[in-house]
């Protein structure tokens, strides 16, 4: 992301966008809660080319590389072209995230009683799918080999020890600090509510995607869920019966950061990358910076 000096009004995790038009600055006052601004969208993506390329990469030694890595790499590449997707609203102001941080939940095992933990991985807009694969594996391995809880569990455990009345008071203070951007870096890093995007792979549970709300607390602007792969028989342009593979996705997005046309460009970029997955294997030739 852009290396700019922090200015008056900027937060630790984002820079204030001063050149927004008046209506965009007005939206957080009309819709002050994130839940007021949430929009749901669903789309089925044809993944035959993606699936073929991922199988090749697994043969080449990228064990376990899959659709989760691909979708994260897609979103990073979209941000490199459409940086407005990486904005957030806090304290009724619009900011650009200082980096790209992806949040996801990981179960320690595929059993009903297994515990979950949340991980946050930081990326650059020039990262490729191979960078995503490496960074995700490093973070997951770190969680598996750690003898102690990760930062998220430590912070949650600390607050959970408070009596109820004191916990409510403490969280009120935390919300006020977040409103003004005063939260310590350690809490922001541990928080699963602060980031560029949160993603869940429900295909690993063999179910379809759900519309998942985005939390009023924190800075997340996008929640993406995707489900299991499935096959469809269709008539091709050559009037031949062909078998194609699909996944269903559902997105919940904050409409306060950009308009519908901007999100339409995001979805078109997604569609293109699903048909040309190889472009995510090399860095982008140009990174577009957000406005100031």
What pLDDT score does 153 carry?
A: 72
* Contact assessment for residue 289 and residue 82, using Cβ atoms and an 8 Å cutoff: no
Question: Around Cβ 58, how many Cβ atoms within 10 Å?
Answer: 13
User: Is 154 inside any structural domain?
Assistant: yes
User: Is 289 inside any structural domain?
Assistant: no
**Distance between CA atoms of 79 and 88, rounded to whole angstroms?**
13
**Distance between CA atoms of 216 and 180, rounded to whole angstroms?**
15
User: Is 10 inside any structural domain?
Assistant: no
What pLDDT score does 125 carry?
A: 97
Tell me which residue of 239, 291, 277 sits closest to 66, measured CA to CA: 277
User: Is 84 inside any structural domain?
Assistant: yes
Domain containing 264: what range?
22-281
User: Is 292 inside any structural domain?
Assistant: no
Tens of pLDDT along 117-163?
A: 889 999 999 999 999 999 999 998 887 776 566 677 777 778 888 89
CATH classification of the domain holding 237: 3.30.559.10
pTM: 0.92
User: Is 228 inside any structural domain?
Assistant: yes
Check whether 3 has a pLDDT greater than 60: no
Tens of pLDDT along 38-83?
A: 999 999 999 999 999 999 999 999 999 999 999 999 999 999 999 9
Following CA atoms 138, 144, 146, 147 in sequence, which dihedral angle do they give, to the nearest 10 degrees? Answer: -170
User: Is 157 inside any structural domain?
Assistant: yes
What pLDDT score does 147 carry?
A: 57
The angle subtended at Cα 220 by Cα 247 and Cα 45, nearest 5°, is: 15
Number of domains comprising the chain: 1
User: Is 6 inside any structural domain?
Assistant: no
Read off the DSSP letter of residue 126.
T
Please give the share of the chain, as a percent, with pLDDT higher than 90: 80
Check whether 270 has a pLDDT greater than 60: yes
**Distance between CA atoms of 223 and 198, rounded to whole angstroms?**
5
């Amino acid at each position: 992301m852009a290396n700019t000096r922090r200015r008056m009004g900027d937060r630790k995790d984002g820079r204030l966008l001063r050149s927004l038009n008046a209506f965009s600055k007005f939206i957080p006052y009309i819709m002050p809660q994130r839940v007021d601004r949430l929009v749901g969208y669903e789309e089925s993506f044809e993944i035959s080319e993606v699936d073929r390329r991922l199988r090749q990469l697994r043969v080449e030694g990228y064990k376990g590389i899959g659709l989760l890595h691909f979708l994260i790499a897609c979103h990073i590449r979209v941000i490199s072209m459409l940086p407005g997707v990486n904005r957030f609203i806090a304290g009724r102001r619009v900011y650009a995230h200082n980096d790209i941080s992806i949040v996801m939940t990981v179960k320690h095992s595929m059993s009903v009683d297994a515990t979950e933990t949340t991980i946050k991985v930081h990326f650059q807009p020039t990262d490729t799918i191979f960078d995503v694969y490496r960074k995700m594996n490093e973070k997951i391995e770190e969680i598996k080999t750690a003898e102690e809880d990760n930062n998220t569990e430590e912070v949650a455990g600390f607050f959970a020890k408070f009596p109820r009345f004191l916990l409510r008071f403490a969280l009120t203070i935390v919300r006020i600090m977040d409103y003004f951007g005063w939260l310590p870096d350690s809490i922001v890093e541990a928080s699963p509510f602060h980031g560029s995007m949160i993603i869940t792979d429900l295909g690993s549970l063999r179910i379809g995607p759900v519309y998942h709300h985005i939390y009023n607390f924190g800075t997340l602007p996008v929640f993406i869920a995707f489900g299991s792969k499935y096959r469809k028989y269709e008539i091709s342009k050559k009037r031949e019966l062909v078998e194609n593979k699909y996944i269903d996705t559902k997105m919940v997005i904050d409409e306060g950061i950009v308009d519908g046309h901007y999100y339409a460009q995001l979805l078109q970029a997604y569609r293109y990358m699903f048909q040309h997955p190889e472009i995510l294997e090399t860095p982008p030739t140009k990174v577009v910076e957000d406005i100031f």
